[in-house]
Amino acid sequence: MTAPSFVWLTVFFALPTLLIFAIALKPADPLGGIGEGWTLDTLRTLSNPNYPAIVARTLRLSAATTALCLLLATPAGYHIARASARWRQILLLLMIVPFWTSFLIRVFAWKVLLHPEGPVKRLLLALGLASPDSLLLYNEGAVLLVMVYTYLPFAILPIYAAAEKFDFRLLEAARDLGARGFYAFIHVFLPGIRRALWTAVLMVFIPALGSYVIPDLLGGPTSEMIGNKIAQRAFADRNLPHASALSALLTLGVLAPMIWVLFLQRRRDRRPAAAEAAP
Amino acid sequence: MKRSRLPALTTLLLLVFFYLPIAVLIVNSFNASRFGGAWEGFTLDWYARLFRERSVWLAVRNTALIAVGATLASVILGTLAAFALHRFDTRLQRAHYLLMYAPLVVPDLLMGISLLLFFVAAGFRLGLFTVFLAHTTFCISYVAMVVLARLQDFDESLLEAARDLGADAWTATRRVLLPLLAPGIAAGGLLAFTLSIDDFVITFFVSGPGSTTLPVRIYSMIKHSRHLPMINALSAILMIVTFGAAWASRRIGERNAA
């Protein structure tokens, strides 16, 4: 029973992932394929002076997306969890339904919305908040906005799931003991859902690092992320080993936060156990 | 005790933020204006033009072929995998679970490029077949997770009862386990179907000439054409289809859980 899926995923998932690292050590062939022999030249192309800026932008945009998603998802998750059972169902469904529609189309919808002759620009013009030649598209702001839009549910769901299990009497107790509402929220509620917050960080940050469609459709040449470079090398230049080297870099970038959070959680899990054991 | 209004306000704001782009897109698909900045009258012209576009119909055909193929393959592979993961707790199954879980976490861009590298290195011709292989690969994990969740709620004593009444293992599986699990498998299949018709990134990497799917077609229309309102119309249609499938998947899954 194990064999079919195990073999399938080994051949079409595990092997290709390892191939990213192997092909990064291959030369390119002029026909757009993969050359013979082994070389370090492909890895040397990573020293391209444009790359540090692109890597920095990828990290910056992903970190900002994660921070904004957490900032918005935490109060929303809290509110949904505190609503009555009936409203909880309704609100949760309302939050998920838009994301049942195609990702590409949602990105396109923003392109229409932010278009120079689109509704948002007209509204801002009418309110005197924008000048006729200001551009809402093709910059980092547009990319960040739509990244937050796309990845927010990945933050809301784990935070809501933890908040729903949170014992809200603890907040009342903190208030009875004199804590102000906001203080209790920060010092009692947030530590209570800490695990979910870390899950949310991973669920947003990792896919954000691999963003490609959003900067491609809404960003300009000055808001390219590493995903755009990988696609350019693979399609425009037909240099697969070069695309492979960049992908290897991205793979390591994706693995690092995963391992870090797992490590943090493991250490935290051990500590309370030790604290409980002490008298 | 007075509660802060901030969380409620954030929730309301998020809902507006979530629905605004989608609403504008659907409204604009009936708007005579080219850029949708202002309402210039109701029209079905964009839909009419869309139906005359041959490349779109070809893409619809490809999308349907691949979605049906990948759904069938991933339902078979994913259901078998869920059975194995549920029944055994060995080191092999732990590796199996990791292999099943990892594709859910890996960014689709990395999955796309790694499959492209694999197909090129192995000498595959990029086309419908490679897209089918790629879609099956990412659908298996979703099907397996949905079916596994249902299996965990399954009452094992029903199988024992069937065995006590004289059914052999195969009959008990076929006549008791599968019918009870069918809604879970159907929910997983519908999820796979939605994911397949929606996927752009992975398809973009592994498709070749003649295997353009609807999302890939939409992408090139967004990139290269000035027919923005036609894309609105196409998006509205695709939105309704995926929405319907996702809704059905959820309903079937819920009924089974209840």
What is the rounded distance in angstroms from the CA atom of residue A257 to the CA atom of residue B153?
A: 33
Region of B167 (left: φ > 0; alpha: ψ -120 to 50; beta: rest) is: beta
Task: Note the pLDDT of residue B258.
Answer: 46
Which residues on neighbouring strands pair with residue A28, listed in sequence order?
A34
Domain annotation covers residue A30: yes
Domain annotation covers residue A139: yes
A170 touches chain B (CB under 8 A): no
What average pLDDT does the structure give for chain B?
A: 89
For residue B252, what are its two tokens? 């079937």
Q: What is the CATH number of the domain that holds A157?
A: 1.10.3720.10
Closest Cβ–Cβ partner in A112, A181, A234 for B116:
A234
What is the rounded distance in angstroms from the CA atom of residue B87 to the CA atom of residue A258?
A: 28
Say if residue A44 is in the same domain as residue A116: no
Say if residue A254 is in the same domain as residue A173: no
Average pLDDT, integer, range B156-162 = 87
Q: What is the DSSP letter of A34?
A: B
CB distance B6–A82 less than 8 Å? no
Residue type, A131: S
- Position B255 confidence tier, pLDDT thresholds 50, 70, 90: low
Task: Note the pLDDT of residue A279.
Answer: 39
Say if residue A216 is in the same domain as residue A245: no
**Domain stop point among A199, A224, A249:** A224
Task: Note the pLDDT of residue B36.
Answer: 66
- Position B155 confidence tier, pLDDT thresholds 50, 70, 90: confident
Which residues does chain B have within 8 Å of residue A78's beta carbon, measured at their own beta carbons? 7
Task: Note the pLDDT of residue B203.
Answer: 97
Domain annotation covers residue A214: yes
Say if residue A147 is in the same domain as residue A37: no
Q: Which of residues 215-254 of A touch B (CB under 8 A)?
A: 217, 227, 230-231, 234, 240, 243-244, 247, 250-251, 254
What is the rounded distance in angstroms from the CA atom of residue B174 to the CA atom of residue A3?
A: 20
Task: Note the pLDDT of residue A277.
Answer: 44
Say if residue A172 is in the same domain as residue A218: yes
For residue A213, what are its two tokens? 């469609």
Give the nearest chain A residue to B39 (CA atoms): A119
Could you read off the pLDDT of B189-237 as tens digits, one per residue?
999 998 999 899 999 999 988 899 999 999 998 888 667 788 888 888 8
- Domains in chain B and their CATH numbers? 53-257 (1.10.3720.10)
Say if residue A32 is in the same domain as residue A67: no
Residue with tokens 């949602």: A106
What is the rounded distance in angstroms from the CA atom of residue B249 to the CA atom of residue B51?
A: 28
Say if residue A218 is in the same domain as residue A257: no
- Position B55 confidence tier, pLDDT thresholds 50, 70, 90: confident
Domain annotation covers residue A278: no
Q: What is the DSSP letter of A13?
A: I
CB distance B115–A12 less than 8 Å? yes
Its domain, for residue A95, covers 61-224
How many structural domains is chain A composed of?
2
Could you read off the pLDDT of B164-194 as tens digits, one per residue?
898 888 888 888 888 888 989 999 999 999 8
Domain annotation covers residue A267: no
Say if residue A220 is in the same domain as residue A123: yes
Q: What angle do CA A68, A202, A197 make, to 5 degrees?
A: 65
Print pLDDT tens along chain A (279 aa).
Answer: 778 899 999 999 999 999 999 998 888 887 777 888 888 888 888 888 889 999 999 999 999 999 999 999 999 999 999 999 999 988 988 898 888 888 898 999 999 888 887 888 888 888 888 887 778 888 899 999 999 999 999 999 999 999 999 999 999 899 899 888 888 999 999 999 999 999 999 999 999 999 999 999 998 888 999 999 999 999 988 899 999 999 999 999 999 988 888 788 777 766 654 444 443
Say if residue A37 is in the same domain as residue A74: no
Could you read off the pLDDT of B106-142 as tens digits, one per residue?
999 999 999 999 999 999 999 999 999 999 999 999 9
Give the nearest chain B residue to A101 (CA atoms): B239
Say if residue A146 is in the same domain as residue A252: no
Say if residue A179 is in the same domain as residue A203: yes
Q: How far is CA A17 from the centre of its chain?
A: 20
For residue A82, what are its two tokens? 């505190």
What is the rounded distance in angstroms from the CA atom of residue A144 to the CA atom of residue A68?
A: 9
What is the rounded distance in angstroms from the CA atom of residue A172 to the CA atom of residue A178?
A: 10
A112 touches chain B (CB under 8 A): yes
CB distance B133–A212 less than 8 Å? no
Which residues does chain A have within 8 Å of residue B142's beta carbon, measured at their own beta carbons? none
**What count of CB pairs under 8 Å joins A to B?**
227
CA distances from A254 to A20, A106, A192, A258, B118 (A): 14, 24, 27, 7, 20
Task: Note the pLDDT of residue B256.
Answer: 56
Domain annotation covers residue A150: yes
Domain annotation covers residue A250: yes
Q: Which of residues 4-33 of A touch B (CB under 8 A)?
A: 4-6, 8-10, 12-17, 19-20, 23, 33
Task: Note the pLDDT of residue A28.
Answer: 83
Which residues does chain A have within 8 Å of residue B84's beta carbon, measured at their own beta carbons? 1-2, 5
Mutation site, B31, B60, B80, B110, interface A, largest A CB count within 10 A:
B110
Task: Note the pLDDT of residue B28.
Answer: 87
Say if residue A125 is in the same domain as residue A254: no
**Complex prediction ipTM:** 0.88
What are the helix (H) ranges across chain A?
2-9, 15-23, 41-44, 51-82, 85-96, 103-114, 119-126, 140-165, 169-176, 181-184, 190-192, 194-209, 213-218, 226-231, 240-277
Task: Note the pLDDT of residue A275.
Answer: 46
Percentage helix, strand, coil for chain B under 3-state DSSP, each rounded to 5? 80, 0, 20
CB distance A104–B198 less than 8 Å? yes
Domain annotation covers residue A272: no
Q: What pTM did the predictor assign?
A: 0.89
pLDDT over 70, % of chain B: 95
Closest Cβ–Cβ partner in B17, B80, B87 for A5:
B80
Q: What angle do CA B168, B171, B175 make, to 5 degrees?
A: 140
Residue type, B126: L
